[in-house]
Structure 1
Amino acid sequence: MGNGTATVFFDIDGTLGWVDPAREDERPRWEQGLSPAPNDHVVGAVCALGHKGNRSFVCTGRPPGGIHPMISCMPFSGFVTLAGAYVTMGSRVLRNEPIPAELLDAVDRVLRKQGRGARLEGLQKVIEVRDGTDGRAARSAASMDEALRQQPSGRAYKVILPTAAADAVMADPGLARELSASALELGNSELGLASNTKKAGIRAVLSALGPDAGTTYGFGDAENDLPLFAEVDVRVAMGDAVDALKARADYVTGSVHEDGVVSGLAHFGLI
């Protein structure tokens, strides 16, 4: 802290922008499955943040391939993606921690007993397994192993599955030691390595920056941003954030619909 610069970490969904998951089909076809795009006010604020000599990073559970091109073109210094499993700063890869294949096979055995499918997230692609989470996906892989072979890198970082199936996976003590589960919208949850958190991703960034990081700030809205808050100096919750996050916040800004990122950055004199 205190070198006159700042490093700011931004969640995407509910922070930089918002798309109602229930209305995903109403988006243009090329945008479906991508993160929301920030509006012009938020884009301008992030640009102004950089113009004042500060750094900014995206900090999201989404994979790199699921980030809207508008965000990818903004002047971010790097990306903490897949909830900390894959972290980049410029052209450098700071962290790359996929789920081991044998662990995916163990999850798949539980899913088969449940008669459930899933989605396997890699860096760029999402592969459906046994008709996906809703049982309707076409051309899906028959197993995790087959889905893994369809990933360009041969690696996967998260499993999206019905919450009831995630509960069954986490009821296995051996799997619960290795994995963590987080609830999503529409009755689904995501599984990832317990060691992969936004906190771990931010720690990789701060280790690379060293003293140049300056004062660190984090903006978020959901429970999966609690690990983000645990690793920054100043915690900013969006106006419509969950209560648990607001309770940990140093400042509560406006909601995503009120351009809370803009007012929050202005409050701290960062723009």
Structure 2
Amino acid sequence: MGNGTATVFFDIDGTLGWVDPAREDERPRWEQGLSPAPNDHVVGAVCALGHKGNRSFVCTGRPPGGIHPMISCMPFSGFVTLAGAYVTMGSRVLRNEPIPAELLDAVDRVLRKQGRGARLEGLQKVIEVRDGTDGRAARSAASMAEALRQQPSGRAYKVILPTAAADAVMADPGLARELSASALELGNSELGLASNTKKAGIRAVLSALGPDAGTTYGFGDAENDLPLFAEVDVRVAMGNAVDALKARADYVTGSVHEDGVVSGLAHFGLI
């Protein structure tokens, strides 16, 4: 395919690295809220991948501001972030699809009836709405509209909220047509535009690369990586992946704790 090079997409959490969400408070304060950082073996493998003329992209549900600086400094060709809502390749923005303000207002009306708060996620900043997801935020906006004004770009891409509140939002037929909900850890869920998926983000990258993309590979571990698998030629599941992802994989590599990214890249001769 293409010119013989490869383009590889990597999930972060559970793939490039791992941090137990229940132990987030034990991390250094400056790292809290950031993605895990890959270890030296994984960093070396990604560097070797590039040295052989291949491209690599991060493909994550996290916002750009939630990615660990170590990952941002690695030689990735670009980033598929916010589950495909915001995609960059070098200095180019390939996809930028925030949630429209009117949809956020409609979500807010449901949350008010539930007596619930939420967190509004932009590219670099998370704004708490009515004490956030756990009612303990020291400072928060009174409404989604106010939170949106506090976002530096004036745009937001995800709403993080208790799962019970997400269920109430998705029970509204009009909102369910426009939004999708995904379960997170610790009893929370996230809402985003239904059109924003890792598949859509990868498709934007491949459209920009054209035939230069070569053979495409995807590494993942979670159910939200199924859209990633749907858009690549070769699907690699981590050893710690959920069964649904392993069932779709062409190859199951070692777990994140066993540097499965390194052994997976080596298995296919990419490093």
TM range (shorter): over 0.9
Distance 1:268 1:205 in 2: 22
What is the aligned partner in structure 1 of residue 110 from structure 2?
A: 110
Please give the per-residue CA displacement for 1:38-79, whole angstroms capped at 9, x wherever unaligned: 000000000000000000000000000000000000000000
Distance 1:18 1:11 in 2: 11
Distance 1:36 1:54 in 2: 24
The answer on whether the counterparts of 2:238 and 2:252 sit within 8 Å (CA) in structure 1 is yes
Q: Provide TM-score, normalisation by structure 2.
A: 0.99
Please give the per-residue CA displacement for 1:213-261, whole angstroms capped at 9, x wherever unaligned: 0000000000100000000000000001011100100000011000000
What is the aligned partner in structure 2 of residue 218 from structure 1?
A: 218
The size of the alignment, in residue pairs, is 271
What is the aligned partner in structure 2 of residue 77 from structure 1?
A: 77
Distance 2:4 2:100 in 1: 42
Please give the per-residue CA displacement for 1:189-236, whole angstroms capped at 9, x wherever unaligned: 000000000000000000000000000000000010000000000000
Please give the per-residue CA displacement for 1:112-154, whole angstroms capped at 9, x wherever unaligned: 1111110000000000000010111111111100100000000
Please give the per-residue CA displacement for 1:62-117, whole angstroms capped at 9, x wherever unaligned: 00000000000000000000000000000000000000000000001111111111
* 1:3 Cα deviation after fit: 2.6
* 1:2 Cα deviation after fit: 5.0
Distance 1:244 1:126 in 2: 31
Distance 1:248 1:168 in 2: 31
CA RMSD of aligned residues (A): 0.5
The answer on whether the counterparts of 2:199 and 2:227 sit within 8 Å (CA) in structure 1 is yes
1:264 correspondence with 2:255: no
Please give the per-residue CA displacement for 1:5-62, whole angstroms capped at 9, x wherever unaligned: 0000000000000000111111011100000000000000000000000000000000
What is the aligned partner in structure 2 of residue 170 from structure 1?
A: 170
* 1:4 Cα deviation after fit: 1.2
Distance 1:152 1:146 in 2: 12
Classify the secondary structure of the residue corresponding to 1:217: strand
Please give the per-residue CA displacement for 1:157-182, whole angstroms capped at 9, x wherever unaligned: 00000001001111111000000000
Residues 122-133 of structure 1: pairs in structure 2 closer than 5 A = 122-133=122-133
The answer on whether the counterparts of 2:181 and 2:189 sit within 8 Å (CA) in structure 1 is yes
The answer on whether the counterparts of 2:215 and 2:233 sit within 8 Å (CA) in structure 1 is yes
The answer on whether the counterparts of 2:2 and 2:211 sit within 8 Å (CA) in structure 1 is no
Distance 1:259 1:88 in 2: 26
Classify the secondary structure of the residue corresponding to 1:9: strand
Q: Provide TM-score, normalisation by structure 1.
A: 0.99
Flag structure 1 segments of 5+ consecutive residues without an equivalent.
Answer: none
Distance 1:206 1:2 in 2: 12
Distance 1:141 1:260 in 2: 42
Distance 1:110 1:247 in 2: 37
Classify the secondary structure of the residue corresponding to 2:24: helix
Classify the secondary structure of the residue corresponding to 2:209: helix
